[in-house]
Amino acid sequence: MRRSYDVIIIGGGVQGLSLAYNLALRKAGKIAVFDKSYIGSGASGRNGEMIRSAFGSEEWIRFFDTSLRLWETLSEELDFNVMFTRCGYLVLAATNDELVTFRKLTRLQKALGLDTRLLSQEEVIEWIPAINPKMAAGGILQPGGGFARHDAVVWAYEKAARRMNVRIKPHTEVKDIVIDNNSVTGVMTTAGKISAGMVVNAAGGHARQIAAMAGIDLPTDVYRLEMLATEPLKPFLPWAVSSPHTLSYMHQTTRGEFVGGAEIEHLKPAKNLRSTGAAIQDMAGKFVRLFPGLGKVNLMRQWAGIVDMAPDASPILGPATGLESFVLDCGWVYGFVGAPAAGSLLADYIVSGEIPRNIRPFHINRFKEGKPIRDLSLVVPTKSTP
């Protein structure tokens, strides 16, 4: 291990690896990635894998469409098959009121250049006969959306970064941030003190803890999100589907497994990765409501991951306020989807010093300035009530 790097990235998930690769691509100097566990051990290997840019706010649409365009050529760029399956993505409306809102969102998406269209109830049922008609009033279809294999994406970015001489150090925990004259100058790790010209906090569910080491209070809470996978089934779900009404999302893999997750209303913060009975009951109930035929299907596995969610469920990207040489890549709930764009745009900022347009709205100052980013199409848990 070197004792000094130009950029140190804390967090060996898809966000940190994407940034490391993009920095190396821009010849940003000596780059290191530290993770206290194995690479991809956090939410990067425990997410829903689904990919879209058909969101409900201009900020989310612009940012995530940048990412979607990168997903389309990511396997070729990284010389590794990330298994991006462009099957289409449906945001399902369960009520006529939701469909009215979705009609407005479709107009916004089209105005920003997205290829989306509003489907009627009849069209949804025609394409997905297995769906419960009472839960399908219509929806927004994005033909260019889909899903990718999360482990493959982690491996692809890791291998590409290593080929470009990025030093990736698993099982190397950052214990403190070194600050001199209001500027970050390095980190204290289990392997000793390492100097750096810049440090990036891409620590996922541990981002708030890392930020606190630098004297920054991230306005985030850690939540445990859970998912399940069934036995392989005959193909019945042609698209990736999310249902904001039931706070659930799902797709069917090429092997036939039904894979999905659902969030519990008023979810309480939690940091452990233990699967729970409450979550499996909630997921099973919602999935059977949506697809009654799943009632007798065997469950193969269940797992959990943690995310560090901001009050508006949007990521926190860019320089830290009042502290030089410390960059935030935090607050991710849709971090897997946004990793290609975040890595590219943050690398542009680190190299040039100029914040790219599509990440400016996600600055940490938005909360103090009263400019939270609200998106009406997200499938995220609401905070626990007192």
Indicate the domain borders of the chain.
4-46+151-219+312-366, 85-146+221-309
Strands 316-319 and 326-330: antiparallel
pLDDT of 384 above 70: no
* 85-146+221-309 to CATH, choices 3.90.1150.10, 3.40.50.720, 3.40.50.2300, 3.30.9.10: 3.30.9.10
CB of 228 closer than 8 Å to CB of 302: yes
CA–CA separation, 281 and 32 (whole Å): 42
- Which of 203, 202, 173, 201 minimizes the C-alpha distance to 188? 173
Rg of the chain over CA atoms, in angstroms? 20
- Which of 241, 225, 228 minimizes the C-alpha distance to 297? 228
> pTM of the full predicted structure?
0.96
pLDDT tens, residue by residue, 285-302? 999 999 999 999 999 999
pLDDT tens, residue by residue, 203-250? 999 999 999 999 999 999 999 999 999 999 999 999 999 999 999 999
Q: Up-side HSE of residue 259: CA atoms within 13 Å toward CB?
A: 19
pLDDT band at 385 (very low <50, low <70, confident <90, very high): very low
Class of domain 4-46+151-219+312-366: alpha beta
CA–CA separation, 215 and 213 (whole Å): 6
Q: Average pLDDT over the chain, rounded to whole?
A: 96
pLDDT tens, residue by residue, 110-142? 999 999 999 999 999 999 999 999 999 999 999
pLDDT band at 380 (very low <50, low <70, confident <90, very high): confident
Q: Which residue would you say has higher pLDDT here, 273 or 83?
A: 83
